[in-house]
């Protein structure tokens, strides 16, 4: 009954859309939802590439049965074992007991741990292939894009790369499956947010995978999340390349915490100075209000970060501390960094921000500003000077 989208002759999209989950990984907001993509190849052998979150297994199995049209399933290729893609494997095996599960050694270890499945496995190594009849699927290991067992599957016949999480994005597929069939505008920001939230720590492995891919002739990318990339394939690859090199665009994030508005006034002064000195892309984030998901997105997007924090219980403001920890975990590189802070009776925040900059090995731009109680004339001028110094540094490094 379910008519499945054919993305190439006898390759069907059988994924699902999740518009119910509020937080991906119970962490990251999903205003546009998320898709879990899966693809079915009908050939002499039938091959499914990845499964979906177990919450959607019922509709998923119905879609597969519809596309198989009475045939059985011969192979399941597992490119990634995170449960948003592996969650339906046990139920799939119950439905198709003879299905052979294709993965590498790490995949099969995780299959045993997550699902208790230890038989009917086919282990593949780098560069090995599986013939489906008219097609040959070749497997390329892509460890740590996003987990250690991740691999890509390449179909040379139609030049399709099944890329696991790589080139993925938040956002459901609202009718169209292939990028040329839809308005992709909101996916541009959502891809950066997805990358920074989920894959952001693994820039090196993403670069390794991109180098490996450069040897393949790829015309279509089938990721596990978001549109099938064909018309905009160059753009999708370029975004992942830029982000994994931690290359920021000309622009600045001003991130601040503030209890009573004193540190916020410093942030406003810095931002006004950035604008007055020619910077057009400026994002102010109140750490108590902006979700870290969006703050991380903008920090990956832009090359400059200026952080302001009040001193709170002798430490950084907790929401700032929490966000800096997420930046540190992701080992974000090459940011231009400025900082400022305020205190009432004993300052600590500015010292902590200096320690953060040293740990990140980032270039500090301008003189830090530290304000006791309300903003005074001297420190207002110092905030303007900090914004100006950062604006000049951004322009100096501009590649536009």
Query: Based on CB atoms, which residue is closest to ligand FEO, 150 or 255?
Result: 150
Query: Based on CB atoms, which residue is closest to ligand FEO, 74 or 84?
Result: 84
Minimum distance from residue 286 beta carbon to ligand FEO (Å) = 30
Q: What are the angstrom distances between the C-alpha of 171 and each of 6, 17, 35, 88, 192?
A: 20, 9, 6, 21, 12
Minimum distance from residue 365 beta carbon to ligand FEO (Å) = 35
Query: Does residue 157 contact residue 135 with C-beta atoms inside 8 Å?
Result: yes
Minimum distance from residue 161 beta carbon to ligand FEO (Å) = 16
* Contact residue for ligand FEO among 50, 53, 74, 84 (CB under 6 A): 84
Site for ligand FEO in 122-181 (CB under 6 A): 146, 165
Minimum distance from residue 12 beta carbon to ligand FEO (Å) = 20
**Residue 196 φ then ψ, to 5°:** -65, -35
225 lies in the binding site for ligand FEO (CB under 6 A) = yes
Residue 25 CB coordination number (10 Å): 11
Q: Please, where are the H alpha helices in 171-246?
A: 185-194, 203-213, 233-244
* Contact residue for ligand FEO among 5, 63, 85, 301 (CB under 6 A): 85
Minimum distance from residue 225 beta carbon to ligand FEO (Å) = 6
Query: Based on CB atoms, which residue is closest to ligand FEO, 15 or 366?
Result: 15
Site for ligand FEO in 41-80 (CB under 6 A): 80
Minimum distance from residue 203 beta carbon to ligand FEO (Å) = 16
Query: Based on CB atoms, which residue is closest to ligand FEO, 150 or 307?
Result: 150
Instruction: Determine the interface stretch with ligand FEO among 81-89, 180-188, 346-354, 367-375 (rule: CB under 6 A).
Output: 81-89
Cα 239 from Cα 254, distance rounded (Å): 23
86 lies in the binding site for ligand FEO (CB under 6 A) = no
Cα 68 from Cα 311, distance rounded (Å): 62
Query: Does residue 83 contact residue 91 with C-beta atoms inside 8 Å?
Result: no
Minimum distance from residue 245 beta carbon to ligand FEO (Å) = 21
Q: Which residues contact 255 (CB under 8 A, 6 or more apart)?
A: 284, 285, 287, 295, 299, 305, 306, 307, 308, 320, 323
Query: Based on CB atoms, which residue is closest to ligand FEO, 195 or 302?
Result: 195
Residue 346 CB coordination number (10 Å): 8
Query: Based on CB atoms, which residue is closest to ligand FEO, 93 or 146?
Result: 146
Q: Please work out the total of residues on this chain that contact ligand FEO, with binding judged by CB under 6 A.
A: 8
Residue 264, SS3? Answer: helix
Minimum distance from residue 264 beta carbon to ligand FEO (Å) = 36
Query: Based on CB atoms, which residue is closest to ligand FEO, 170 or 317?
Result: 170
* Contact residue for ligand FEO among 18, 74, 82, 149 (CB under 6 A): 82
193 lies in the binding site for ligand FEO (CB under 6 A) = no
330 lies in the binding site for ligand FEO (CB under 6 A) = no
Q: Which residues contact 321 (CB under 8 A, 6 or more apart)?
A: 315, 352
The four Cα atoms 74, 79, 8, 34 give a dihedral, to 10 degrees, of 120
Minimum distance from residue 38 beta carbon to ligand FEO (Å) = 12
Q: At what angle do helices 203-213 and 233-244 cross, to 10 degrees?
A: 140
Cα 131 from Cα 44, distance rounded (Å): 9
224 lies in the binding site for ligand FEO (CB under 6 A) = yes
Query: Based on CB atoms, which residue is closest to ligand FEO, 170 or 337?
Result: 170
Query: Based on CB atoms, which residue is closest to ligand FEO, 206 or 252?
Result: 206
Tell me whether residue 352 is exposed, middle or buried, using C-beta atoms within 10 angstroms of its C-beta: 0 to 12, 13 to 18, 19 or more. buried
Query: Based on CB atoms, which residue is closest to ligand FEO, 85 or 193?
Result: 85
133-136: long-range contacts (C-beta < 8 A, 24 or more apart)?
133/43, 133/44, 133/45, 134/43, 134/44, 135/41, 135/43
Binding site for ligand FEO (CB under 6 A): 80, 82, 84-85, 146, 165, 224-225
């Amino acid at each position: 009954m379910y008519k499945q989208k054919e993305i190439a002759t006898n390759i069907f999209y059988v994924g699902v859309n999740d518009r119910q989950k509020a937080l991906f990984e119970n962490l990251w907001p999903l205003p546009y939802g998320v898709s879990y993509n899966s693809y079915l190849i009908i050939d002499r052998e039938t091959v499914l590439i990845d499964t979906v979150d177990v919450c959607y297994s019922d509709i998923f199995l119905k879609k597969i049965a519809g596309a198989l049209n009475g045939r059985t399933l011969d192979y399941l290729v597992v490119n990634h074992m995170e449960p948003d893609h592996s969650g339906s494997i046990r139920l799939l095996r119950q439905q198709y007991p003879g299905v052979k599960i294709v993965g590498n050694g790490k995949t099969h270890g995780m299959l045993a741990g997550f699902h208790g499945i230890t038989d009917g496995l086919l282990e593949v190594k780098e560069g090995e292939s599986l013939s489906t009849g008219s097609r040959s699927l070749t497997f390329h290991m892509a460890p740590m894009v996003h987990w250690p067992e991740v691999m890509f599957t390449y179909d040379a016949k139609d030049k399709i790369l099944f890329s696991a999480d790589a080139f993925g994005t938040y956002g459901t597929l609202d009718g169209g499956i292939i990028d040329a069939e839809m308005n992709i505008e909101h996916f541009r920001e959502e891809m950066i947010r997805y990358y920074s939230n989920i894959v952001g720590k693994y820039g090196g492995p993403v670069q390794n995978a991109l180098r490996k891919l450069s040897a393949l002739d790829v015309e279509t990318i089938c990721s596990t999340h978001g549109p099938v990339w064909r018309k905009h394939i160059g753009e999708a690859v370029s975004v992942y390349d830029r982000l994994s090199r931690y290359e920021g665009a000309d622009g600045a994030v001003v991130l601040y915490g503030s209890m009573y508005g004193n540190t916020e006034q410093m942030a406003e002064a810095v931002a006004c100075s950035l604008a007055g000195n020619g910077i057009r892309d400026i994002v102010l984030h109140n750490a108590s209000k902006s979700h870290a998901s969006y703050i991380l997105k903008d920090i990956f997007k832009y090359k400059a970060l200026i952080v302001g924090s009040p001193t709170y219980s002798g430490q950084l403001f907790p929401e700032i501390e929490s966000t800096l920890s997420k930046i540190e975990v992701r080992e974000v590189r090459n940011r231009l960094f400025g900082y400022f802070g305020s205190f009432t009776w004993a300052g600590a925040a500015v010292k902590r921000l200096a320690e953060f900059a040293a740990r990140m090995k980032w270039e500090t731009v301008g003189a830090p500003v530290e304000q006791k109680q309300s903003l005074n004339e001297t420190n207002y001028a110092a905030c303007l000077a900090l914004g100006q110094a950062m604006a000049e540094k951004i322009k100096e490094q501009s590649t536009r």
